[in-house]
Amino acid sequence: MILACSLALHAAFWDDYKIFAKYMHYETDYYKALSKAKKVNKPLFMVVVTSGCPFCEKLMDRILTKDYVREYIGKKYVTLIMNKEEQKVPKKYLRPFEPVTYIIDPQSEQIIDELDGYMEEEHYLWHL
């Protein structure tokens, strides 16, 4: 019973991408993240989610919060998470499904890689 309550609270915690962003040190503003990526000369790692999306929550909870994943992504990229229901995501990054993860060249704003939907950890990390 205690474990079930704990898991439910944990899942509810990540439902708000802003809390995730604050805890994980992700930017939530595209232009601020893009400017930062240009300044430090790193690609932009952008995750687009929606509220209540179970696959978005799984991505955040099961993959992106793991320490070694967080460290790896933090070393290689400037991180950004956006909720397309609450924020104005640039049109070229909109898809009819979520989550979508992009690796973006900050100079040209071109997509280097795109990971569509949720996938298991080993497949997800293989692309990064």
Kindly report, residue by residue over 68-95, the tens digit of the pLDDT: 999 999 999 999 999 999 999 999 999 9
* Segments forming the whole domain that contains residue 89: 2-127
- For residue 126, the model assigns a pLDDT of 86
- For residue 119, the model assigns a pLDDT of 92
Predicted confidence (pLDDT) at residue 116 exceeds the cutoff of 50: yes
Question: What is the pLDDT averaged over residues 17-45?
Answer: 97
- For residue 46, the model assigns a pLDDT of 98
Predicted TM-score of the model (pTM): 0.86
Question: What is the pLDDT averaged over residues 40-64?
Answer: 96
Question: What is the pLDDT averaged over residues 4-33?
Answer: 75
CA separation for the pair 126, 89 (Å, rounded): 26
Listed residue (41, 38, 59) closest to 50, CA to CA? 59
CATH number at residue 120: 3.40.30.10
Predicted confidence (pLDDT) at residue 9 exceeds the cutoff of 80: no
State both tokens at 90.
């640039």
Total domain count, the chain: 1
- For residue 31, the model assigns a pLDDT of 97
- For residue 15, the model assigns a pLDDT of 54
Question: What is the pLDDT averaged over residues 99-104?
Answer: 98
Question: What is the pLDDT averaged over residues 10-16?
Answer: 53
Q: E strands, 29-83, where? A: 44-49, 78-83
